[in-house]
Amino acid sequence: MDIENLQNTWSKHEEKLQKSINLNLELLKRVNVKSAKSKMTSLIWINALTLAFYQIVMWSFAYYTVTHWPTVQFVVAGLILTTWAGIISYGAIKQLKLILEIDYSGPVTLVQKQLQKVKIAIVHFLRMALMILPFHMAFLIVINEILFNVDIIKLADPVWVILQTLVLILPTIWIYRNLSPKNANKKWVNWLLQGNGSQINEAQNFMKEIEKFKLG
């Protein structure tokens, strides 16, 4: 092959392709391409629904907090749950923003990086959701009060209540630290990610490839 004449060989390739592919322009005129489902639409919907759900949860807990003022245990539990739902809502907003910002007519390295970020974001979401673990007592307090009108703090041994929180602090810190995209291929992380581990790992590697490509 004539290396110096590559562009000429390439243009012959184009001619051959033009001959072998027929674009049905008549059909293109008839099809309402606007109605085509975008790949991103389902992702937008998932995040919008997550956001809507956690917003309802957040405002419900906020209402609970206000209406149970000034009983300390109910107010503290309500505030913890409101904050938690708020953090998850914030994550969903960030994720939605990321998806909506993707513009396929943007520069290739930039758009590809954005797309990989969307894939990796599932790890960060999960991390935020797990932050509630040491505070699960807040759930117990609120649920028992709402469903059975029982103040669990009054009934339970205070030592037991404190232990419940302390016992889960270390495992939560450990999970939080280890739950990162670089560990996505580990069995337990992959299980938590509902089998998306390898995809996240690939996304992470592709991000590195793009960075390397940009640096030259």
Partner 1 sequence: MKTNETNSTSADFIGMIEKYKGIIYKIANAYSRSSEDQEDLVQEIILQLWSSFGNYDPKYKFTTWIYRIALNVSITHYRKDVVRKKYTIPMTEQLIDSSATVEDNQTEDIRQLRGFIQELDEMNRALMILYLDGNSHQEISNVLNISVSNVGTKISRIKDKLKEKFKK
User: Which of 12, 70, 158, 194 touches partner 1 (CB under 8 A)?
Assistant: 12
Nearest approach, Cβ of residue 31 and partner 1 (Å)? 7
Interaction of residue 37 with partner 1, rule CB under 8 A: yes
Interaction of residue 101 with partner 1, rule CB under 8 A: no
Q: Residue 215's closest CA among 109, 140, 97, 122? A: 109
Mark 174-203 with x for binding to partner 1 (rule: CB under 8 A) and - for no binding.
-------------------------x--x-
Distance between CA atoms of 114 and 101, rounded to whole angstroms? 8
Interaction of residue 24 with partner 1, rule CB under 8 A: yes
Q: Does an H or E element contain 35, and which?
A: none
For residues 115 and 193, the answer to whether their CB atoms sit within 8 Å is: no
Torsion-angle region of 195 (φ positive above 0: left; ψ -120 to 50: alpha; else: beta): left
Instruction: Give the Cα-Cα-Cα angle 204, 209, 212 (nearest 5 degrees).
Output: 130
User: Which of 27, 147, 155, 159 touches partner 1 (CB under 8 A)?
Assistant: 27
User: Which of 100, 108, 150, 162 touches partner 1 (CB under 8 A)?
Assistant: 108
Distance between CA atoms of 39 and 24, rounded to whole angstroms? 23
Contacts with partner 1: how many residues (CB under 8 A)? 51
The residue written with tokens 């906020």 in the block is 62
Mark 112-151 with x for binding to partner 1 (rule: CB under 8 A) and - for no binding.
x--x------------------------------------
Q: Does an H or E element contain 162, and which?
A: helix 158-178
Residue closer to partner 1 (CB basis): 90 or 206: 206
Interaction of residue 9 with partner 1, rule CB under 8 A: yes
